[in-house]
Chains A and B, each alone.
Chain A
């Protein structure tokens, strides 16, 4: 009979920091530029070039560490990790092994089964490598060093997770945290957040750890969940068959939904780590830490609580609106500008979510000026436009960041309150429908709806309905 197994998972997460310039030189970190246009002697490993640490990287690392309840080292160091690969222009990566900047922290995650602490072993600063492009057609490899030297922090957890749900919750937690801190946009598709999964299985109740494997090349949360499931099954099958699990690094192929071994512990690389002599120790004083602490923005939980308290949102709405820092910022700005937080929330929870789903967009991809939505809300509040117009215009704001005021003006979409004009149209309608007028006089009040509809049709729905029925009643009495 198959025994009950427990899965033990620890994560190594790389987060690209959103600094303007690279970690050791002044080159831009902008994503998507032409290959090798954001490079200099330092980030292409030219002979004689030297690294100089970007202070912002330290501040971001400390901010992330503080948010994850880490201890911060007052003196930390950079080490060289030596390995040959063409995407790594110096053939060593500047990282932190011996004295990482943040250590001994934890974050709290929420799953179906409740809340749980995941301990953080350390966070350290390092540089990213360039990108290799294999040109099958020309049968050659090309390298783009734009990403070389982009700052990263690597967040190493303790093996505290037990299933994919916890892993995803942990990653979501980190992503939220980084986004709210403004230290990273954490886009998995652009590679600004990457996770390696260390996984082992053991018999339930055992306190000893099994032999673990490290899974690489996980490009989405879904791939991570599938890889965990697959690796767990693979290891249990091995153990059930009486075979040992080999400590090795494996590469996940999400198309095949299987992994293959990259290298085992025996042929693991010897990185020959040693302190980088080009970089003096980094001194992080208590005053500096205090400064960074005082500038920490609200994180998601605080933001959600604030939305409930300040704007009277439900816990559910506050939860959804803070799922992305970007969305929360858009909402808050709209709420503040319009002074109609409830109305703003209705738009975000209703139309906005619907359109986002329809378009299959990530929250970060939603781009519009909160002032535009605020203007729309205010016009609706003043009864200047009807609901249908508001909905149509909102769609345009959502899709093309349309400025509603000139648009509504130009397209004559405002509700017409001009009673003279309305009474003219009412008279016209009554004249054209003598039979219906007759019916009304005979006590068939239902035809009132028909008259209103006719007036609305002639005014393309822009007439103020209250004004129309008032006018109709007056005119019918006269008739």
Chain B
């Protein structure tokens, strides 16, 4: 039996039916990781012992009738900015190289309660700041479609781990597109829930008002099943919200015939690669064929989105990252005279260039005399963007956008021009500013043979509608084989 053909739900079913044990699932996954890591480098830490212990707990629990959920026993990779008690959480930074959390994130706790098995911590851009996973202090992750290309970021490790077949599903985090963009670049499905759906307790913060944890998997159904486990109010996160939907999976209904889908026309006007545009338009054709009513409309404010996002995210990051000072945990520089120098050396040596750039940017926009001109103005833009989305959702059930203007760039070509890299977030950041849910689904390959992602955007807490559209599209599109699945076809 080759597990790789399976989806997470299919594996869960086999475990439930006792065709496969949770321990076998762990063993198989560890073998895959062992085999692929050299060429992929998706993981920073593999949790062999931890995973076996959890598998045993699940197996024993199942004998007593517990762990009856659809994903019990299924291994899952976890982005390295999410805390698991006793397991390193480095955020791909020297600063936290030796940091081991004393508690487990609520999201992971819920997964474990449902019997899922955390198997390893995945590579990412340092502190989730970046779009390529190249800012990781521990080396880049390679795109399973083409080793010379990046997997996107910041959840590049999680997406590459799924795309390479190391795992069937993973957790990522999304502040400005960090789940959806790398999912697009890796040809996998990535879901960013509505802000407040999933507890952030235990997610090492980047931009607190934008951060959301979400699932990455091989298809819409798997992501939906994981969201079912994750979503809900957590008393430990004051920004988490009471869940409205009892279930998000509503796929067997009437499909998308008559569903109104809007496309912000600004998104296709300039800066978009031809290969992406043509695949996107092909997807639009598929949706229309299914009976959806697809229209272009003007969202407006698009030029202000990136500046507003980088001001707000950097401002929050500059404050969130203050706690990394060498006093309590993590890295402390050696050889310093006094407190001030300890701070200075620790932070100079512990943080990478991109993190420092955003800390400086964020500190600047919050400093007295500039606060009104930058931060407050950015907050006002955020409010206006929220309004323009509200207006759009009065007319449309779901919105559609590319996941990124281009497919994955080659390794080593992005970091020298950060401004250009920031502009690559154009299709994803507005969703975070407005707090909306979004899901990236693969829709084809460009001329370089790299995957293109299409993004479905829902109204706040309207995941159900968005997932129905994404699922209907996925079905109509037909199989989208990952590289390892294609290899098998040739065998």
Q: How many residues of B contact A (CB 8 A)?
A: 44
Identify which of A44, A49, A141 contacts B201 (C-beta below 8 A). Answer: A49
Taken together as a complex, chains A and B put the C-alpha atoms of A221 and B201 apart, in Å, by 43
Which of chain A's residues has its CB closest to B83's CB?
Answer: A48
Taken together as a complex, chains A and B put the C-alpha atoms of A51 and B96 apart, in Å, by 22
The answer to whether A277 and B101 touch across the interface, beta carbons within 8 angstroms, is no
CB neighbours (8 Å) of B363 from chain A are 272
- The prevalent SS among residues of B at the interface is loop
Taken together as a complex, chains A and B put the C-alpha atoms of A44 and B315 apart, in Å, by 22
The answer to whether B83 and A92 touch across the interface, beta carbons within 8 angstroms, is no
Taken together as a complex, chains A and B put the C-alpha atoms of A273 and B102 apart, in Å, by 30
Tell me, yes or no, whether A46 is within 8 Å of chain B by CB. Answer: yes
The answer to whether B239 and A278 touch across the interface, beta carbons within 8 angstroms, is yes
Which of chain A's residues has its CB closest to B82's CB?
Answer: A48
Taken together as a complex, chains A and B put the C-alpha atoms of A273 and B204 apart, in Å, by 21
What's the nearest-Cβ distance from chain A to residue B334, in Å?
15
Assuming the contacts A53-B238, A270-B367, A274-B366, asked whether A48 and B322 have C-beta atoms less than 8 A apart, the reply is no
The answer to whether B327 and A86 touch across the interface, beta carbons within 8 angstroms, is yes
Taken together as a complex, chains A and B put the C-alpha atoms of A191 and B200 apart, in Å, by 35
Taken together as a complex, chains A and B put the C-alpha atoms of A277 and B329 apart, in Å, by 24
The answer to whether A47 and B96 touch across the interface, beta carbons within 8 angstroms, is yes
Count of A-B residue pairs with CB < 8 Å: 101
What's the nearest-Cβ distance from chain B to residue A352, in Å?
47
The answer to whether B238 and A279 touch across the interface, beta carbons within 8 angstroms, is yes
Tell me, yes or no, whether B103 is within 8 Å of chain A by CB. Answer: yes
> Contact flags (1/0) for A47-71 with B, using CB distance below 8 Å?
1111111000000000000000000
Taken together as a complex, chains A and B put the C-alpha atoms of A91 and B326 apart, in Å, by 12
Tell me, yes or no, whether B49 is within 8 Å of chain A by CB. Answer: no
Tell me, yes or no, whether B272 is within 8 Å of chain A by CB. Answer: no
CB neighbours (8 Å) of A80 from chain B are 319
Interface centre among B204, B209, B366 (most CB of A within 10 A): B366
What's the nearest-Cβ distance from chain A to residue B356, in Å?
16
- CB-CB contacts below 8 Å: A241-293 with B: 270, 272-274, 277-280
> Contact flags (1/0) for A368-401 with B, using CB distance below 8 Å?
0000000000000000000000000000000000
Tell me, yes or no, whether A84 is within 8 Å of chain B by CB. Answer: yes
The answer to whether A91 and B375 touch across the interface, beta carbons within 8 angstroms, is no
The answer to whether A45 and B323 touch across the interface, beta carbons within 8 angstroms, is yes
The answer to whether B103 and A46 touch across the interface, beta carbons within 8 angstroms, is yes
The answer to whether B204 and A47 touch across the interface, beta carbons within 8 angstroms, is yes
Taken together as a complex, chains A and B put the C-alpha atoms of A82 and B366 apart, in Å, by 10
The answer to whether A47 and B236 touch across the interface, beta carbons within 8 angstroms, is no
> Contact flags (1/0) for B220-249 with A, using CB distance below 8 Å?
000000000000000111110000000000
Q: Which B residues are within 8 Å of any A CB, using their own CB?
A: 81-83, 89, 91, 96, 99, 101-103, 105, 200-205, 207-209, 235-239, 315-316, 318-319, 322-325, 327-329, 339, 343, 363, 366-368, 371, 375
Q: Which A residues are within 8 Å of any B CB, using their own CB?
A: 41, 44-53, 80, 82, 84, 86, 89-92, 141, 143, 270, 272-274, 277-280
6 A-B pairs, CB-CB below 8 angstroms? A48-B202, A52-B235, A82-B366, A86-B325, A272-B366, A274-B316
